[in-house]
A and B are shown apart, each in its own frame.
Chain A
Amino acid sequence: MSGRAVEDLQAIADAIVAEAQPGEQIAAHLGRSSETDIRVRNQEIEHFVSAQSQSVSITVIVDGRTGASSAGAFDETSWREVLAEARENATFGTPDEFAGLAEPDGVAVVEQKLWDDDLAAFPTDKKIEIAKELERLVLAEDARIRIDDVNYSDGSTEEASATTLGIRSSSRSNSCYATVSVLVDDNGETQTGWAYALGDSPLVFDLPAAARKAAERATRLLGAVKPASKVTTVVLDPMVTAQFLGIIGSTLNGESVSKGRSIFADRIGEQVASPLVTLVDDPTDSRSYYARETDGDGLAARRNVLMENGVLKMFVHDAYSARRMNTKSTGNAGGCVALQLTPGTKTQEELIAGITEGVLIDSVQGLHSGVNPVSGDFSTGASGLMIRDGKTAEPVREFTIASTLQRMLLDVEAIGCDLDWLPMRATGVSLVISGVTMSGA
């Protein structure tokens, strides 16, 4: 359940939409949020942030021209100014026959649990205690560990939207997490590690697991060397896979496709990936971090199969790209938010056991600067562990791995069974990819 309707915000959204003049489409979105952020160091509070903010954003479409405006306050004077600005902005666009808001499509909303009463009632002093406990736990993991930072954060958001085409929705949601980042020194070398604890409320945080993970990430890279350059097989750790899938998702976006910027345009029905690859985007799966009821256009979120046994099945659309490509919205305004690969049957350890020589990629650096989804070029900094004779061996760092997105999908050799519901737009899972160039010394 998304909790109670947010009536005062819905009333303002309705009032804005009621201002529409003949021939005008209006969409209004109101938001009100609060956040708490606590950072602890040496068992003392380093900072404590507590704040509220609000926002209004309005889109106006007239004669195929779109204008938008937003502000950080939604009293009547403010929203009227924003509306006037959005109207004025709409006069400068190029008429676009496909411009327009989403038509309600009758797809039913799958309700999600977006609000947690335990979190809402959780007292401040206990939030502080969580951060302090996480600091104590991680320091107890290894005598060489120093704290980089330890944080507890939570937030809640109330929102409401309305459109002149009859879409109305309001919801409230809250979330929380704790993070820890550590430094480990040995022989004049410093390595870093981090981890987080997640859950609907702090009551279900697994702090010992987070402490262990952060310590393990940092210590296992100590003594890492720069590897020799070679073409090899990589095992992507679940978090790295999730980052990779996020990029693949962006290439399947209907807008990129319709504007000729996708490496997969015109390839529906073709084998674009290894037969092992079945990729879905399913924001109705409540295990996904970004599980949601509606997309950015206000249509119901839904399960979409993007690739099945390696065959490209569909692109994802919002109302605009769907109209351009003469198809229906897939409920993906805002892109893919809950990608997942159908898992295999082996654990990461079992996957590694089948590899004579390769490298386990623990983390990547510079995906934003070294991957081009339009050309497909993929190159990223990496660190991890060498794999020799089916076992992880010495740690390695300061190298890159490179291929192309197209080749990597075709070169998928195995998928693990270790689904990890990360706070990202894709679910993590161990992924084995061959033919990747490792560039080091």
Chain B
Amino acid sequence: MSIIDLSHEFDTSVLARVLDKGRSTGAGFSEIFVEDKRSMGAGLDDGKVEAVSSSRDSGAGIRVIHGDTTGFAYTSDLTEKGLMAAAEAAAAAAATGTGGAHKVSLQSMSRQKVNDVRIAPTSVPKARKVELLTIANDAARGVDASIVQVSAGYSDSTRRILVVNSDGVFATDEQVRTIFRVTAVANGDTGMQTGYDSLGHTIGFELFDEESVEELAERAARQAVTKLRARPAPSGALPVVIKRGSGGVLFHEACGHGLEADLVARGASVYANRVGQQVASPLVTLVDDGTMSREWGAIGIDDEGHKSQRNVLIENGILTDYMWDHIRSVQEGRRPSGNGRRQSYEHLPMVRMTNTFVLNGTEEPDDIIRATEKGVYVAKLGGGSVNTASGDFVFGMTEAYLIENGEITEPLREGNLIGNGPQVLADIDLLGNDFAMGNPGTCGKDGQGVPVGDGQPTLRVKSMTIGGTAA
């Protein structure tokens, strides 16, 4: 089944009238964001394929900006009548006076492909998707007799968006994402342990031609089995080596959020007023790149209709730029950076990351471990969170080992690591040459979740506080 570009479903004269209605109370800017999202998911647990589910949601969010005030209304009624009613509500919400008439001329449509989808998930029989779950279950259970439980999940989504605004933006995108997750539980003398791994890209069902669900399931199962002999993690400060492709979340939390222009503008970031200054070790070059083909945070356009792009945020440790959305870039009189994103048509856009990663250094990863006399090797990170104002952040380690005399030794139980963003960035003292992107993630901010990617080469932080219980 081919997916039809959303712009073909709307008459441009209707869109222009809705935009005019949005500005009827005097606002300088109006915008229509239309979204049509279909998703399908299936889960397996305890050996059984459980509820297979699917959903379809479509609607439009109308945003009107009048001075410093934003009015916003959304509707699932995509007829001219429904859109006009939402535009009127948004206009009323933003009104501080009455304005004159406005005429919008929509320019030619822009779109940017960051990826070709070879096999649209909507064209794949559901039975084929469900079959993957059973394959994963069998593979994980085959790893070791200690595996007592396996759950696996498949889901895909096809999101078509159309953005039109009174500045003449007229853009569409189609974002197809496919993801597979496995959690395994192993049971041993010291209780239960879990292992988790996931696989997700901004592509279609060809994901499973390229990557193996069996291997994914086996990795998750091995992680759980290994942790059965894990000892409590240390407490206190130690050097931390983070394996390639598993620690991007460190940068996401340690500085990514703090480089979002909306947080910077309200003075809620430790990185405010620091462009041009040294904010990280000279080894660090940090990039946010929405065009990065296939990766989980890839987008053709952002949810304000601007093309995604590659933005260098920190270069050799010097802060070069923040990430921007429409409102903040207009305030600063600069071009947007393609970082205005929203969870759905029911949400206002704000500054969000896409794929955020640190470029390669020069060290051999093995040398980094050898250079560490005592420390922690983190092979898999869990989620994290940050207080951007103080810079304090945490992230979880779901697979970690002790480093003793330059060698990886005992596995460790789970725990959080805590650090302060600017301090940790300055403390990165070894950077590998083995860059890899990490697992697909969902970034939450103000109650909205959006898909993001991250990545980094193997690296060492001179000192971080490990939240374990061992002395």
A440→B466 CA distance, assembly (Å): 8
Q: Given A49-B93, A183-B267, A440-B465, does the pair A191, B54 have CB atoms closer than 8 Å?
A: no
Partner of A439, one of B44, B73, B466: B466
Partner of A369, one of B59, B235, B385: B385
Q: Given A48-B72, A183-B389, does the pair A375, B235 have CB atoms closer than 8 Å?
A: no
Beta-carbon contacts of B201-239 to A below 8 Å, as 1s and 0s? 000000000000000000000000001000001011100
Partner of B394, one of A46, A183, A260, A366: A366
Measured CB to CB, the closest approach of chain B to A414, in angstroms, equals 22
CB pair A53 B346 closer than 8 Å: yes
Chain B residues touching A, majority SS = strand
A189→B394 CA distance, assembly (Å): 19
Binds B, one of A12-20, A82-90, A110-118, A304-312: A82-90
Measured CB to CB, the closest approach of chain B to A430, in angstroms, equals 23
The answer to whether the Cβ of A44 comes within 8 Å of any Cβ in the partner chain is yes
The answer to whether the Cβ of A66 comes within 8 Å of any Cβ in the partner chain is yes
CB pair A400 B415 closer than 8 Å: yes
Binds A, one of B187-195, B312-320, B449-457: B187-195
Measured CB to CB, the closest approach of chain A to B77, in angstroms, equals 8
* A residues near B389, Cβ cutoff 8 Å: 148, 183, 190-192
A96→B413 CA distance, assembly (Å): 35
Beta-carbon contacts of B44-58 to A below 8 Å, as 1s and 0s? 111111111111111
Partner of A44, one of B46, B50, B69: B69
Q: Tell which of B192, B227, B346, B469 has the most Cβ of chain A within 10 Å.
A: B469
The answer to whether the Cβ of B34 comes within 8 Å of any Cβ in the partner chain is no
Binds B, one of A239-247, A346-354, A377-385, A421-429: A377-385
A397→B420 CA distance, assembly (Å): 10
Residue of B nearest to A149 (CB): B266
Beta-carbon contacts of A50-79 to B below 8 Å, as 1s and 0s? 111110000100000011111111000000
Interface size class of A (residues with CB under 8 A): 35 or more
* A residues near B235, Cβ cutoff 8 Å: 229, 400, 402, 437-439
CB pair B467 A397 closer than 8 Å: no
A246→B415 CA distance, assembly (Å): 19
* A residues near B93, Cβ cutoff 8 Å: 48-50
Residue of A nearest to B263 (CB): A148
CB pair B416 A370 closer than 8 Å: yes
The answer to whether the Cβ of B89 comes within 8 Å of any Cβ in the partner chain is yes
Give the total number of A-B pairs whose CB atoms are below 8 A apart: 243
* A residues near B413, Cβ cutoff 8 Å: 375, 377
* A residues near B49, Cβ cutoff 8 Å: 92-94
Q: Which of A226-280 contact B (CB under 8 A)?
A: 226, 229, 259-261, 263
CB pair B48 A94 closer than 8 Å: yes
The answer to whether the Cβ of A323 comes within 8 Å of any Cβ in the partner chain is no
The answer to whether the Cβ of B28 comes within 8 Å of any Cβ in the partner chain is no
The answer to whether the Cβ of A126 comes within 8 Å of any Cβ in the partner chain is no
Beta-carbon contacts of A395-432 to B below 8 Å, as 1s and 0s? 00111111100000000000000000000000000000
* A residues near B385, Cβ cutoff 8 Å: 365-366, 368-369
Q: Tell which of A66, A372, A438 has the most Cβ of chain B within 10 Å.
A: A372
* B residues near A96, Cβ cutoff 8 Å: 48, 50
A22→B127 CA distance, assembly (Å): 24
* B residues near A375, Cβ cutoff 8 Å: 191-194, 227, 413-414
The answer to whether the Cβ of A325 comes within 8 Å of any Cβ in the partner chain is no
A379→B193 CA distance, assembly (Å): 15
CB pair B395 A148 closer than 8 Å: no
The answer to whether the Cβ of B75 comes within 8 Å of any Cβ in the partner chain is yes
CB pair B51 A68 closer than 8 Å: yes
CB pair B76 A72 closer than 8 Å: yes
Measured CB to CB, the closest approach of chain A to B71, in angstroms, equals 5
CB pair B346 A379 closer than 8 Å: no
CB pair A368 B45 closer than 8 Å: no
Partner of B268, one of A67, A70, A148, A403: A148
* A residues near B393, Cβ cutoff 8 Å: 365, 381
* B residues near A263, Cβ cutoff 8 Å: 191-192
CB pair B392 A397 closer than 8 Å: yes
The answer to whether the Cβ of A376 comes within 8 Å of any Cβ in the partner chain is yes
CB pair A51 B75 closer than 8 Å: yes
Residue of B nearest to A373 (CB): B194
Q: Which of A172-225 contact B (CB under 8 A)?
A: 183, 189-192
CB pair B348 A47 closer than 8 Å: yes
The answer to whether the Cβ of B107 comes within 8 Å of any Cβ in the partner chain is no
The answer to whether the Cβ of A45 comes within 8 Å of any Cβ in the partner chain is yes
* A residues near B298, Cβ cutoff 8 Å: none
* A residues near B277, Cβ cutoff 8 Å: none
Q: Given A92-B52, A259-B149, A365-B387, does the pair A72, B58 have CB atoms closer than 8 Å?
A: yes
The answer to whether the Cβ of B418 comes within 8 Å of any Cβ in the partner chain is yes
A375→B469 CA distance, assembly (Å): 14
The answer to whether the Cβ of B282 comes within 8 Å of any Cβ in the partner chain is no
CB pair A437 B469 closer than 8 Å: yes
CB pair B384 A71 closer than 8 Å: no
Residue of A nearest to B74 (CB): A51
Measured CB to CB, the closest approach of chain B to A266, in angstroms, equals 12
Measured CB to CB, the closest approach of chain B to A115, in angstroms, equals 23
CB pair B396 A49 closer than 8 Å: no
Some 11 contacts from A to B, beta carbons below 8 A apart, are A66-B51, A69-B55, A89-B126, A92-B52, A190-B268, A261-B192, A370-B394, A370-B415, A370-B467, A374-B194, A402-B467
Q: Would you list the 7 A-B pairs with minimal beta carbon distance, nearest first?
A: A400-B467, A369-B396, A370-B416, A366-B394, A439-B235, A379-B415, A381-B394
Which A residues have a C-beta under 8 Å from some C-beta of B? 41, 44-54, 59, 66-73, 81, 85, 88-90, 92-94, 96, 146-149, 183, 189-192, 226, 229, 259-261, 263, 365-366, 368-370, 372, 374-377, 379-381, 383, 397-403, 437-441
